[in-house]
Amino acid sequence: MQTEQTGKLDELIGYEKENLELTRQIERILPKPEIETSKASPLPVGLGMPLKELKKLLDDRVSRLVLIGPQGYGKTTLAKQFCQDEDVKANLSIGEPSAGTTLVSKT
């Protein structure tokens, strides 16, 4: 039983190594474009509706949000835009110890 599980684990590790190598090869050929996320930058295409949905959650007094999705789909960009949005800032009581925004990203 343990040998079978070890074999499956080794197979998965091999698959992940191949996937990582392919990803690196693709990035060498087509590097991922840098997305400007300063205050002055416009919202990237496709993130307008998700930002609007996140802002609606402020009316529901949601205290925490978790953004999940595949790598490269704009979760961090969306979170940064959300934190920098003037409407969001106006609705948050930044002075209170329990309120504010924290951006955590694993890349």
Amino acid 95: pLDDT: 42
Residues 86 and 50 in one domain: yes
Print the SS3 string covering 14-49. Answer: HHHHHHHHHHHHHHHHCCCCCCCCCCCCCCCCCCHH
Please compute Rg for the chain using Cα positions: 19
Domain co-membership, 69 together with 92: yes
Residues 40, 8 share a domain: no
Whether residues 17 and 53 fall in one domain:
no
Domain identity same for 7 and 50: no
Q: Tell me, yes or no, whether 94 and 73 share the same domain.
A: yes
pLDDT of residue 96: 44
**Cα 56 to Cα 93: distance, rounded to the nearest angstrom:** 17
Taking only the tens of pLDDT, the chain with its 107 residues reads 677 878 888 888 888 888 888 878 877 777 666 655 555 456 677 788 888 888 888 777 777 778 888 888 888 888 888 888 888 887 775 444 444 555 565 55
CB neighbours (10 Å) of residue 77?
18
pLDDT at position 70, please? Answer: 85
Is the same domain home to 102 and 65? yes
Q: Are residues 75 and 40 in the same domain?
A: yes
Same-domain pairing of 6 and 17:
yes
What residues make up the domain containing 25?
A: 1-31
pTM score, whole prediction: 0.48
Asked if residue 44 and residue 17 are part of one domain, the reply reads: no
Residue 97 confidence (pLDDT): 41
Number of domains in the chain: 2
Yes or no: say if 17 and 51 are a contact pair by the CB < 8 Å rule. Answer: no
* Nearest of 83, 87, 85, 92 to residue 62 by alpha carbon: 92
